[in-house]
Amino acid sequence: MSRGIRDHLPTLLVAALSSGFGVTLLQITGMLTAVVSADDVMGSSATVALLLNLLAIAFIAIAVYVAAVTTANTVATVVAGRTRLIALLRLIGSSGRAQRAVIAREGLAVGAIGAVIGALVGTGAAWVVGRIGVATETIPAFDYGYLDPVLLVPMVAVVVTTWLAAWAGSRRVLSVRPAEALGNAGESSVAEVDRRVGRTVVGIVLIVLGAAALALGVLVGLVHPTGVLVGVVGGILSFTGIVLVADRIMPRVLRGVGRFLGGSPSARLAAENAVRHPERSTRMTIGLVIGVTLVTMFAVTMETYRHAVLDALSGQEQLEEAIGPVIDGTVAVFSALVGFSAVIAGVGLVNTLSISVLQRTREIGLLRALGFDRSQITRMILAEAAALTVAATLTGLVLGTAYGWFGAQSMLGSMTGEPQLIAPVVPWVIVGIVILAALVLTLAASITPARRAVRISPVVALAVE
């Protein structure tokens, strides 16, 4: 079990970040609510407190969902790396269900450890933020207790979702044949993926149901801001559908992006690898798609929220002067906190790209034997990371902008007391930061795999079965 948990260190990081995000969010929301309630002017505005609580609930649900998807992908990557070991255990009598149960237990243990670590770090971070806010007079002194039973909600959610995600991510164990212990175990081919009609049908159904729920959230939001909760359900359903059909979509997007990277052998091989192993390329990109989608969605939602609230308060100078700084502070706090979710999602790219290099030892050795030098291997890994990053960033920007508008509209459509359509506000500075961060991530994700790849000896690699 201890060795298995060591294999799940990326999963432990995801669980700790998710729990920390949820606990920090609840603590800071509680502090902001205490500040709002204590103020003579703001305390009379129930709308601000309601929106803060709705934002906290929505953000926690999304953070837990992101953790579940990322954990499932991370576990699937771990299982892919253990395929031959699992096949060997199957060969000597172990069953696929027994091996899957082992991975699920590992996920449960990792989730529990990560939840506790995250809760401690999250509470400490919230306390520090509160003290800094009071010391710098950004917010007034407030009375708030940090020990609240509601903090168990994100902790339990992280434990349960990590366990379930480990179970879901390890589904490939059931398809590992004992004979694979005698040969080179590989990823599913394009033909095998295309035969999974049931998965595609379920994905399309979820996308349709999610789109309907998003539309319903907008309609409910014209009457009451709780429409955002309906929208969150719609977003989760539709994005789950996108994740399920991603292995049919992302490899094609990657091939299209690869054509813009040049016509060198390294670039062509990088683009072809994405299509040749759709499961692996999808696991690597979907985490970054989630991260970019989250950052863009939250940025669009919060910027639209800020503009809408300030516009609604125009002409009420006393209320605007009192609530304006709190609104700006709330936007800044939530914008900083959303970085947690982006980090949660970004863990998958670096991890799976590194593991994929290990799984392709024989392939890289063959390329070296055919005449590829170290610089060409490095360029191939860099081109592959660039293709993954560009494809995921573009997809995430489009999805994030759409989801951001749905969230803002369903939450703010009834803010003035009358139904209204809210125009989305795109924070271009944040979009620029996302693109810059994606470029940095490309370099960071490719450095370690590239170094590992160039150290592979052709003779040793070709001896690997």
Q: What is the pLDDT of residue 181?
A: 47
Q: Are 446 and 381 in contact (CB under 8 A)?
A: yes
* Most confident listed range (235-249, 308-322, 424-438): 235-249
Read off the tokens for 26.
């609840």
Q: What is the pLDDT of residue 106?
A: 83
Q: Mean per-residue pLDDT for 57-65?
A: 70
- Give per-residue pLDDT as tens, 245-293: 887 877 777 777 777 777 777 777 777 766 676 777 777 777 778 778 8
Single-letter residue type at 299: A
Residue 207 pLDDT class (50, 70, 90 cuts): very high
Query: What does DSSP assign to residue 137?
Result: T
Q: What is the rounded CA–CA span in Å between residue 374 and residue 292?
A: 32
Q: Are 359 and 81 in contact (CB under 8 A)?
A: yes
Asked if the model's pLDDT at residue 63 lies above 70, the reply is no
Q: What is the rounded CA–CA span in Å between residue 75 and residue 278?
A: 17
Q: What is the pLDDT of residue 402?
A: 92
Closest residue by Cα to residue 45 from 418, 324, 302: 324
Q: Mean per-residue pLDDT for 71-95?
A: 70
Q: Are 230 and 237 in contact (CB under 8 A)?
A: no
Give whole-number Cα distances, 134 to 26, 31, 149, 426, 457, in Å: 18, 11, 25, 31, 59
Asked if the model's pLDDT at residue 213 lies above 90, the reply is yes
Q: Are 4 and 284 in contact (CB under 8 A)?
A: no
The region of weakest confidence among 2-6, 360-364, 433-437, 441-445 is: 2-6
Look-up: residue for tokens 């294999």? 7
The region of weakest confidence among 73-87, 158-172, 252-266, 373-387 is: 73-87
Q: Are 59 and 151 in contact (CB under 8 A)?
A: no
Q: What is the pLDDT of residue 460?
A: 61
Q: Mean per-residue pLDDT for 148-175?
A: 77
Query: Within 10 A of 223 (CB to CB), how many other CB atoms are there?
Result: 11
Q: Mean per-residue pLDDT for 88-95?
A: 74
Q: What is the rounded CA–CA span in Å between residue 66 and residue 58?
A: 12
Average pLDDT value over all residues in the chain: 75
Look-up: residue for tokens 């729920």? 213
Q: Are 333 and 129 in contact (CB under 8 A)?
A: yes
456 compared with 431, residue with greater pLDDT:
431
| pTM score, whole prediction | 0.71
Residues in the chain: 465
Q: What is the pLDDT of residue 295?
A: 80
Closest residue by Cα to residue 246 from 284, 191, 298: 284
The region of weakest confidence among 167-181, 236-250, 300-314, 373-387 is: 167-181
Query: Within 10 A of 112 (CB to CB), how many other CB atoms are there?
Result: 18
Query: Within 10 A of 311 (CB to CB), how many other CB atoms are there?
Result: 12
Helix (H, G, I), strand (E, B) or coil at 425: coil
Read off the tokens for 111.
């989730």
Q: What is the CA radius of gyration of the chain?
A: 24
DSSP secondary structure letters along 62-128: HHHHHHHHHHHHHHHHHHHHTHHHHHHHHHTT--HHHHHHHHHHHHHHHHHHHHHHHHHHHHHHHHH
- Give per-residue pLDDT as tens, 433-464: 877 877 776 677 667 666 766 776 666 655 55
Asked if the model's pLDDT at residue 206 lies above 50, the reply is yes
* Most confident listed range (131-135, 403-407, 448-452): 403-407
Asked if the model's pLDDT at residue 1 lies above 50, the reply is no
Read off the tokens for 143.
């009375």
* Most confident listed range (103-107, 137-141, 407-411): 407-411
Share of the chain above pLDDT 70, in %: 66
Query: What does DSSP assign to residue 146?
Result: S
User: What's the distance, Cα to Cα, between the start and end of the chain in Å?
Assistant: 27
Q: What is the rounded CA–CA span in Å between residue 426 and residue 429?
A: 9
